[in-house]
């Protein structure tokens, strides 16, 4: 156990790509946590997906042994993701810390997630050290950005630390400042044990592994413990710290961050946000825990092979341990069979979940068009939440439809203000405030239907501002809207998985584009496949996938009988990635193509 | 269009199951055609050692219980070797395996290599059937295919062959980018007018690793499957009109000229095979030789086997293979365990409804050969069962 005065716990928070993971790399190097041989860029981004995409998806904690000018310290660093979809991941990390490093790219300046994350840290009562990164870049304008950064924190530009995470310049000084400026954790070892479960994952051999932050008391190996919310009683089989590899220790004291293995295999017995205490001497009250995040978009996930439904359920439950923002409930589709309606924080989150399910759990999935959740008034009173277009009551059974609204914050260079406002208007936005962060940079606030923001808006914003604008949003109630459901019929049969609820003004255009898109995606079959878009019984668009005329390799293989069979087997494997909808083979990506129909 | 599903054709197709055959691969070509992915090399540098290796491989092979019903020399370009070398290899086979009295002995040749005197040399060696790689009677198409011969040369070669061999085949390729339907029709008509006994029409396919595939990846036009479908249908009509019977997806013959060697492979019969990249089928085992010519020669010279891989199918897979291969024939195939399962499977029902698969008594046939691969995939998708 370490004296709390010798511990500092902090998160690195920033807008995406401002250099959080790279800064973490330098800190790991400076403290010798990784050897030169082990070092690679963004070493804490361990997931394959993170490395491929170059983004942080999961917060990662690591314990550093720091020998500074004022003695030896234990630093627990948590590297966090920067994308808007993963804000929840950031907020959970902050609850395990006393301080935060707010990092800003000195060439880019303050961006939307800089602000959003700064507010999160302030609300959580954390001490914040503002830091400018990428000083080595020729385009860096540290003096200007220091003013921007200080102004959002009501601080002094002179207190802003300047580093280059790439070259390492200024990082040693920053570490000294962390010890100086961030408070030590409080909490007494003599009090009852309270440890916050701030993350978890499922290990096939060890069961559920919890990431914990001890607030008070001592968590030791072999202690009998209790999870206060679920009531689960267990023995602490192993406690340890991440250095960054998992290393067992005998105990974790107040202020310490580490992991806990109990051998629990029943996933629902462990909840992120729960408090661990001792069975014999429990704490009187649990720690505050977390607010459940609000899912923004919903999509159906279906196994391509119907027999995999139970495996999908198991995988979702396990993944949820490591991704608490994921919610799901069983769903039945006439076209796709049994699956789950899943709630996500955004499209990136949705994509990541699907990819993780496919990779980590070896599943083959079809994802249906994402939708926001509507509130629908019912004739005869009452209201129903609709997370799936197929659940929309018929027009004669419903009154008005309410759609979710978000408060959107956009930061843009002042020169693009007009363009951005125009874009927001096209997306049914209502202007709120406009605020100059500096003469060159404007913060705009709008109220916009979530459905307009969540599908493709970000790309449009980026392309209209040459990549310079950034975006953040929060839920902000509901509003009545004039909406209709566009259905798609394949071969005359409605395919529920393709239905979408669309603003009436855009429905026709949407139907036309989607049908055209599907004609390209759906391969030619043994027969003609008509594709129609309809609102109610009114067909608004139609295309046909012509029957294929030749499906034979008329080639001389001589005695090589094996070759043709192997070729056919490969083709057949390819077909497995198709979903049979009635008699029509539909490729998986068709279901998601609904997304790529930009309705402007 | 007449296709041969008659009683005699069925008997002929099925009887091939118990016949045995042998294949000799000759990998040498003047130059490599851009669409070709066979196990071939340009030039004849290794020819002498290769012929010795083939003879050695033949000597080491186990004979079948029965004498050979068919011997095929293919390639590559077998005629790249002189008549003496061909004679030597053929003699080795005949003495090692023995031949049936009505044995079919055939050789592939390119038009530029065949004239009346080479034709006579080949028949003197013992070849009774020749298959000419004409590919097209349109010079533009020939040059698009990267062939070295011209349409006139092809016409001459066919004449020489017809005057000398008991059975003459022409290979034609359809779907060469740029080839119009009209051009294809006139190639087929010319072929039919040349008095051949057998016609093979193959669709151009873009195979990985070939020059054609690189060109297509770089943006050159690829064969158009809809046009190929049209071309196939035209060829079938024209050949039928000329009195030829389609007995397999790509093959037409006058009565008595169906290729025994092919019938053996489609009936899941057994055959020995010699040379680099050659595939054999013996005792239920399919195996194949190393693909590279130099490696093949080295292995044989060192006294090693030239085999580089093999595959033994389980009983169900074998049954599926039987139906798959058999369905290529116009005569169709006895349904058996796999066929019966197919007919009642979801995929099979859809294929029947679409008029692609036909059931007649205990036999299955593909009514629309152009969509035949869909039937094969449906067969492969069946859950394994008893047989
Ligand atoms: N020139 C320069 N590039 C940097 C610096 N810090 C990070 N980067 C680059 O910025 C990109 C994003 O860095 P990363 O650490 O993944 O950012 P994160 O999304 O905030 O974790 C990477 O290409 C880094 O190499 C810096 O100090 N200077
Ligand atoms: S002549 Fe025949 S075997 Fe030789 S390269 Fe051309 S297509 Fe291939
Ligand atoms: Mg990162």
Query: Which tens digits make up the pLDDT trace of B323-348?
Result: 999 999 999 999 999 999 999 998 89
Give the CATH number for residue A209: 2.40.30.10
- Which pLDDT tens digit goes with each residue over A370-396? 899 999 999 999 999 999 998 999 889
Same domain, A255 and A391: no
Gap between the Cα atoms of A263 and A272, Å rounded: 16
Residue A409's DSSP bridge partners are: A445, A472
Same domain, A463 and A498: no
Same domain, A352 and A419: no
Same domain, A420 and A445: yes
CB contact under 8 A, B380 and A568: yes
Any atom of ligand 2 within 6 Å of the Cβ of B38: yes
Of A526, A558, A583, the CB nearest to B356: A526
pLDDT at B386 over 80: no
Same domain, A452 and A404: yes
User: Residues A483, A486, A490, CA angle at the centre, nearest 5°?
Assistant: 175
Give the CATH number for residue A400: 3.30.70.240
Amino acid A599: pLDDT: 44
- CB-count exposure of residue B179 (10 Å: 0-12, 13-18, 19+): buried
Domain ranges, residue A436: 375-481
User: Is residue A139 one of the residues assigned to a domain?
Assistant: yes
Gap between the Cα atoms of A426 and A423, Å rounded: 5
User: What is the mean predicted confidence (pLDDT) over A10-16?
Assistant: 93
* Chain A nearest-CA residue for B372: A552
Give the CATH number for residue A592: 3.30.70.2570
User: Is residue A285 one of the residues assigned to a domain?
Assistant: no
Distance B72 CA to ligand 2 centre (A): 16
pLDDT at B99 over 60: yes
Domains and CATH numbers, chain B: 7-266 (3.20.20.70), 315-380 (no CATH)
Domain boundary among A369, A384, A417: A369
Distance A45 CA to ligand 3 centre (A): 7
User: What is the mean predicted confidence (pLDDT) over A412-422?
Assistant: 95
Q: Which of residues 334-353 of B touch A (CB under 8 A)?
A: 350-351
Closest ligand 2 atom, residue B31 Cα: 5
Using a CB–CB cut-off of 8 Å, the residues of A that contact B are 526-527, 548-556, 558-562, 565, 568-569, 571-572, 575, 583
- Which pLDDT tens digit goes with each residue over A45-62? 877 778 778 787 778 889
User: Is residue A291 one of the residues assigned to a domain?
Assistant: no
User: What is the mean predicted confidence (pLDDT) over B359-378?
Assistant: 94
Percent of chain B with pLDDT over 70: 99
Greatest pairwise CA separation for chain A in angstroms = 83
Of A552, A562, A568, the CB nearest to B249: A552
User: What is the mean predicted confidence (pLDDT) over A116-127?
Assistant: 92
Percent of chain A with pLDDT over 90: 61
Gap between the Cα atoms of A229 and A274, Å rounded: 6
Same domain, A96 and A223: no
Give the CATH number for residue A151: 3.40.50.300
The closest alpha carbon to B84, from B139, B47, B30, belongs to B47
Rounded to the nearest 5 percent, the helix, strand and coil shares of chain A are 30, 35, 35
A41 or B66, higher pLDDT: B66
Which of A456-460, B5-9, B208-212 has the weakest average pLDDT?
Answer: B5-9
Nearest ligand to the C-alpha atom of residue A22: 1
Q: What residues contact residue B169 under an 8 Å CB cut-off, 6+ apart?
A: B129, B130, B131, B132, B196, B197, B198, B199, B200, B259
CB B156 within 8 A of CB B194: no
User: Is residue A448 one of the residues assigned to a domain?
Assistant: yes
Model pTM score? 0.71
User: Is residue A168 one of the residues assigned to a domain?
Assistant: yes
Distance A164 CA to ligand 1 centre (A): 9
> B351 to chain A: which residues are within 8 Å by CB?
526
Same domain, A440 and A577: no
Report the complex ipTM: 0.86
- Which pLDDT tens digit goes with each residue over A58-67? 788 899 999 9
* Number of domains comprising chain A: 5
Any atom of ligand 2 within 6 Å of the Cβ of B29: yes
Domain boundary among A325, A342, A369: A369
Give the CATH number for residue A330: 3.30.70.870
The tokens for B133 are 């790689």
User: What is the mean predicted confidence (pLDDT) over A306-320?
Assistant: 93
Same domain, A491 and A530: yes
A43 or B84, higher pLDDT: B84
Mutate which of A307, A525, A550, A584 to disrupt the B interface (most B C-beta within 10 Å)? A550
Same domain, A30 and A104: yes
- Which pLDDT tens digit goes with each residue over B292-315? 999 999 999 999 999 999 999 999
- Which pLDDT tens digit goes with each residue over A264-273? 877 778 888 8
The closest alpha carbon to A271, from A203, A224, A210, A189, belongs to A210
The tokens for B23 are 């294949």
CB A66 within 8 A of CB A6: no
The tokens for A396 are 């004669």
CB contact under 8 A, B202 and A555: yes
Same domain, A255 and A352: no
Any atom of ligand 2 within 6 Å of the Cβ of B148: no
CB contact under 8 A, B380 and A551: no
Average pLDDT of chain A to the nearest whole number: 90
Gap between the Cα atoms of A19 and A170, Å rounded: 14
Same domain, A131 and A161: yes
Domain boundary among A457, A481, A505: A481
Q: What is the DSSP string of A509-552?
A: HHHHHHHHHHHHHSPP-SS-EEEEEEETTEEEEEEEEPPPS---
Any atom of ligand 1 within 6 Å of the Cβ of A17: yes
pLDDT band for position B4 (50/70/90)?
low
pLDDT at A595 over 70: no
Any atom of ligand 2 within 6 Å of the Cβ of B99: no
Same domain, A403 and A381: yes
Gap between the Cα atoms of A78 and A9, Å rounded: 8
User: What is the mean predicted confidence (pLDDT) over B353-358?
Assistant: 93
CB B149 within 8 A of CB B110: yes
Gap between the Cα atoms of A369 and A500, Å rounded: 7
Gap between the Cα atoms of B327 and B111, Å rounded: 32
Size of interface A-B (CB pairs under 8 A): 92
> A571 to chain B: which residues are within 8 Å by CB?
373, 377
Amino acid A598: pLDDT: 57
Phi, psi torsion values for B121, nearest 5 degrees? -60, -40
Amino acid A97: pLDDT: 94
pLDDT at A36 over 80: no
């Amino acid at each position: 156990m370490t004296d709390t005065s010798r511990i500092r716990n902090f998160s690195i928070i920033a807008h995406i790509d401002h250099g959080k993971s790279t800064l973490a790399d330098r800190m790991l190097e400076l403290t010798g946590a990784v050897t030169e041989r082990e070092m690679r860029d963004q070493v804490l981004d361990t997931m394959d997906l993170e490395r491929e995409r170059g983004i942080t998806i999961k917060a990662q904690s690591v314990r550093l042994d720091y020998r500074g000018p004022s003695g030896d310290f234990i630093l627990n660093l948590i590297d966090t993701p920067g994308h808007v979809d993963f804000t929840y991941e950031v907020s959970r990390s902050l609850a395990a810390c006393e301080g935060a490093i707010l990092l800003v790219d000195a060439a880019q300046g303050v961006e939307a997630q800089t602000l959003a994350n700064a507010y999160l840290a302030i609300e959580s009562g954390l001490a914040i050290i503002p830091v400018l990164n990428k000083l080595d870049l020729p385009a860096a304008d540290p003096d200007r950005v220091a003013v921007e950064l200080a102004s959002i924190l009501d601080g002094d530009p002179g207190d802003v630390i300047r580093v280059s995470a790439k070259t390492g310049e200024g990082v040693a000084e920053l570490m000294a400042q962390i010890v100086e400026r961030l408070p030590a954790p409080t909490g007494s070892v003599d009090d009852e044990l309270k440890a916050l479960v701030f993350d978890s994952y499922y290990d096939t051999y060890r069961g559920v592994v919890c990431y914990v932050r001890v607030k008070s008391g001592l968590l030791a190996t072999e202690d009998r413990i209790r999870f206060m919310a679920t009531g689960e009683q267990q023995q602490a089989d192993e406690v340890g710290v991440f250095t960054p590899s998992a290393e067992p220790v005998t105990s974790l004291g107040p202020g310490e961050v580490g992991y806990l293995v109990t051998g629990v295999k029943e996933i629902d017995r462990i909840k992120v946000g729960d408090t661990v205490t001792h069975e014999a001497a429990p704490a009187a009250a649990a720690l505050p825990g977390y607010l459940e995040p609000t899912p923004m978009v919903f999509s159906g996930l279906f196994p391509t092979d119907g027999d995999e439904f139970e495996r999908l359920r198991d995988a979702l439950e396990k993944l949820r341990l490591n991704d608490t923002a994921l919610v799901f409930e069983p769903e039945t589709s006439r076209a796709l069979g049994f699956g789950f309606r899943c709630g996500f924080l955004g499209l990136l989150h949705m994509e990541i979940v699907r990819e993780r399910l496919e990779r980590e759990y070896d599943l083959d999935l079809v994802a249906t068009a994402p939708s926001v959740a509507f509130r629908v008034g019912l004739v005869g009173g009452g209201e129903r939440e609709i997370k799936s277009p197929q659940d929309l009551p018929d027009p004669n059974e419903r009154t008005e439809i309410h759609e979710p609204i978000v408060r959107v914050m956009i930061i843009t260079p002042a020169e693009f203000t007009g363009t951005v406002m125009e874009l927001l208007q096209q997306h049914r936005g209502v202007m709120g405030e406009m605020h100059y962060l500096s003469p060159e940079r404007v913060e705009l606030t709008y109220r916009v239907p979530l459905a307009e923001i969540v599908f493709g808006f970000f790309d449009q914003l980026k392309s209209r501002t040459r990549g310079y604008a950034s975006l953040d949003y929060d839920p902000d109630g509901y509003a009545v809207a004039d909406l209709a459901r566009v259905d798609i019929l394949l071969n005359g049969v409605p395919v529920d998985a393709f239905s979408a609820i669309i603003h009436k003004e855009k429905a026709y255009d949407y139907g036309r584009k989607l049908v055209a898109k599907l004609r390209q995606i759906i391969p030619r079959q043994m027969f003609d496949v008509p594709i129609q878009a309809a609102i109610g019984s009114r067909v608004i668009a139609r295309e046909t996938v012509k029957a294929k005329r030749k499906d034979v390799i008329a080639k001389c293989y001589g005695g090589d009988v094996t070759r043709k069979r192997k070729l056919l087997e490969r083709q057949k494997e390819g077909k497995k990635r198709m979903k049979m909808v009635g008699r029509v083979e539909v490729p998986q990506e068709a279901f998601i193509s609904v997304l790529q129909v930009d309705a402007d | 269009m007449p296709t041969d599903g008659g009683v005699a054709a069925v008997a002929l197709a099925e009887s091939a199951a118990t016949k045995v055959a042998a294949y000799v691969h000759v990998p040498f070509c003047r130059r490599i055609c851009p669409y070709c992915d066979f196990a071939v090399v340009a030039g004849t540098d290794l020819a002498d050692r290769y012929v010795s290796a083939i003879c050695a491989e033949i000597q080491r092979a186990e004979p079948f219980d029965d004498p050979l019903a068919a011997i095929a020399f293919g390639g590559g370009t077998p005629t790249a070797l002189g008549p003496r070398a061909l004679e030597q290899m053929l003699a080795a086979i005949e003495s090692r395996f023995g031949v049936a009295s009505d044995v079919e002995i055939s050789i592939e040749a390119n038009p530029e290599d065949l004239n009346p005197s080479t034709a006579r040399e080949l028949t003197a060696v013992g070849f009774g059937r020749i298959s000419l790689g004409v590919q097209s009677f349109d010079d533009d198409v020939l040059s698009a295919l990267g062939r070295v011969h011209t349409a006139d040369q092809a016409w001459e070669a066919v004449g020489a062959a017809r005057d000398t061999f008991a059975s003459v085949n022409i290979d034609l390729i359809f779907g060469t980018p740029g080839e119009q339907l009209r051009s294809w029709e006139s190639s087929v008509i010319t072929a039919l007018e040349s008095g051949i006994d057998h016609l093979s029409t193959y669709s151009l396919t873009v195979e990985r690793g070939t020059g054609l595939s690189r060109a297509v990846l770089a943006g050159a036009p690829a064969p158009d499957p809809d046009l190929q479908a049209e071309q196939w249908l035209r060829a079938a009509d024209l050949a039928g009109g000329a009195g030829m019977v389609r007995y397999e997806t790509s093959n037409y013959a006058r009565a008595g000229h169906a290729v025994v060697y092919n019938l053996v492979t489609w009936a899941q019969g057994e055959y020995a095979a010699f040379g680099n990249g050659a595939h054999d089928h013996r005792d239920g085992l399919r195996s194949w030789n190393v693909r590279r010519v130099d490696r093949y020669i080295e292995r044989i010279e060192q006294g090693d086997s030239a085999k580089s891989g093999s595959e033994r199918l389980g009983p169900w897979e074998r049954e599926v293979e039987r139906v798959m291969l058999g369905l290529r024939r116009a005569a169709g195939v006895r349904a058996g365990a796999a066929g019966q399962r197919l007919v009642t499977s979801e995929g099979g029902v859809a294929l029947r409804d679409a008029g692609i698969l036909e059931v007649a008594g205990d036999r299955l046939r593909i009514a629309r050969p152009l969509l035949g691969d869909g039937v094969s995939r449906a067969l492969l998708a069946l859950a394994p069962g008893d047989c």
